[in-house]
Structure 1
Amino acid sequence: MTAIDQSPTMIEIKGVHKRYLLKQALNGIDLQIKKGSIVGLLGPNGSGKSTLLKMMAGLIYPTSGTILVNGREPDVRNKQQIAYLPEIDSLYSWMTVKETLQFISAFYSDWQVDKASLLLHAMELDERQKVRNLSKGMRARLKLIAALARKVPLVLLDEPFSGIDPMSRAKIIHSIISEFQADEQTILLSTHSVKESEPMFDDVIFLQNGRIKIHDSAENLRSEFGCSLENIWEKVYA
């Protein structure tokens, strides 16, 4: 099931396959993602979510097929147009929160100091704290600030809620919604936390075994299945 939309396109993928030695990670992906939307990328472990996001970020390349982000093929030069938040935590533990944000900001000309300050307050982080003293949830909030403080057309978030407490998940979701600029940004968010994330999503993509199983608007899916996205998840992957 694939939704057809005539809105301006942020991401266009045609016939994309990705193979790692003996593993087929993506197996014939055709996809269009419209500008100005928050898209949920859902699926069990190994379904291809992280591979797809890394490909959009220009960190890896397809074995075959084409991918365009905002009209051009993604590569390392696109980093000024894309904010990518990986699942892996690569923060320096010896830095303070303030030093971490200053360090990251030096790499990007689009860094918004005022926005970073507002997000720091919203996430309830003390800029004087050392990263090594932060809980996993606090570190996740800090990583999200690093992504959302940039003024870019595309934001890619890979499992931003992985293994963190409900309070941190709530703060992160609130910040994503409150800071989202529909006229300027597109956000793709990979997550297993479907219940909490559901209110954010304009569109939803369900991946399975490197293929798109379902792609439609969240509203259409809830209407068609007569239940929440969380319940749809259970039906799709039962």
Structure 2
Amino acid sequence: MTTTSALSPGESTVTPERGLVSVRDLTVRYGSRTALDGLDLDLPAGQIVGLLGENGCGKSTLLKTLAGVYADYTGDVRVGGHAPGPESKAIVSYLPDTSSLPDQVRVRYCLDLFGDFFGDFDEGRARDLISTFGLDESMRLKEMSKGMREKVQISLAMARRARVFLLDEPISGVDPAARDGILDGILRNLEPGSLLLVATHLVHDLETALDSVVMMRHGRVVLTGGVDDLRAEHGASLDQIFRKVYRS
């Protein structure tokens, strides 16, 4: 990994100018392909932010970098004032776009696993979400539909008492009729001072829940701002703005 920073990895740098998540000149390359291209971003606490863009625009790469699971980048990345590492991971709950849970285990095993692994895991909160989603803790994951497994993973991720939640396409594999219920589950226990960054291309389904958005294309931010401000400026819904940006 090659990073550029005037600060030591453990030094905290949360300021009014640099938000709970702060990125400067972030670049990631996969061989000859540039996934993130000199990206700058500041996201404050107390926000629900939609990370929007087409497949391949760099959303997942950005989330992996913020979560500290991808480290081959250049630039300066700060989460809670810390470069990606043990200090930042302690305050981040990350839900990847693919499950890493073993197929053969039961839901109750997943609860025990998260309880052992994460000191901020609230098992009561997880059980409440699992119950709300109508799931049985005795079920094995391999017996579940894709949508049911998504609900298990969301229950686990949102039961941590984290400051930053990074969700990668959490409702993409879910039947449209079930999306409202899952969205309610994601938001029901969200602390007022936390930051939720959710990557999605399903803008219409999330529009009413979002405070602000970051629209990406070709590894760069092409539009960002508060949802209400963007609606007023463009005289259109967020979904209409999104479609216009990606038609150009």
Any idea what SS the aligned residue of 1:9 has? coil
Distance 1:146 1:199 in 2: 24
For 2:173, the equivalent position in structure 1 comes to 163
- Could you tell me which amino acid in structure 2 is paired with residue 144 of structure 1? I
Task: Determine what percentage of the aligned residue pairs are the same residue.
Answer: 36
Contact 1:16–1:63 (Cα < 8 Å) also in 2:
yes
For 2:203, the equivalent position in structure 1 comes to 194
For 1:29, the equivalent position in structure 2 comes to 39
Any idea what SS the aligned residue of 1:152 has? coil
Contact 1:141–1:168 (Cα < 8 Å) also in 2:
no
Query: What TM-score results when the alignment is normalised by the length of structure 2?
Result: 0.89
- Could you tell me which amino acid in structure 1 is paired with residue 216 of structure 2? L
Match of 2:146 among 136, 152, 156: 136
Any idea what SS the aligned residue of 1:207 has? strand
Higher RCO structure, 1 or 2 (CA under 8 Å, sep 6+):
1
Match of 2:133 among 111, 123, 128: 123
Distance 2:73 2:160 in 1: 30
Distance 1:16 1:90 in 2: 27
Report the RMSD for the aligned CA atoms in angstroms.
1.6
For 2:104, the equivalent position in structure 1 comes to 94
Gaps of 5+ in 1: none
Any idea what SS the aligned residue of 1:181 has? coil
CA deviation map 1:56-100 (0-9, x unaligned) = 011113532101111110125532211100001222121111122
Query: Higher mean Cα deviation, 138-147 or 116-125?
Result: 116-125
Contact 2:37–2:220 (Cα < 8 Å) also in 1:
yes
For 1:225, the equivalent position in structure 2 comes to 234
For 2:56, the equivalent position in structure 1 comes to 46
- Residues 102-113 of structure 1 aligned to structure 2 (within 5 Å): 102-113=112-123
Distance 2:78 2:120 in 1: 22
- Residues 138-157 of structure 1 aligned to structure 2 (within 5 Å): 138-157=148-167
Give the drift of 1:6.
5.0
Contact 1:11–1:69 (Cα < 8 Å) also in 2:
yes
Contact 2:48–2:210 (Cα < 8 Å) also in 1:
yes
Query: What TM-score results when the alignment is normalised by the length of structure 1?
Result: 0.93
Contact 1:47–1:207 (Cα < 8 Å) also in 2:
yes
Give the drift of 1:106.
1.2
CA deviation map 1:115-149 (0-9, x unaligned) = 11211111111111111111111100000011001
Any idea what SS the aligned residue of 1:40 has? strand
Give the drift of 1:171.
1.6
Contact 2:80–2:88 (Cα < 8 Å) also in 1:
no
Distance 2:32 2:132 in 1: 45
Question: Which segments of structure 1 move beyond 3 Å, counting only runs of 4 or more?
Answer: 5-8
Distance 1:23 1:76 in 2: 29
How many residues get paired?
233
Contact 2:166–2:198 (Cα < 8 Å) also in 1:
yes
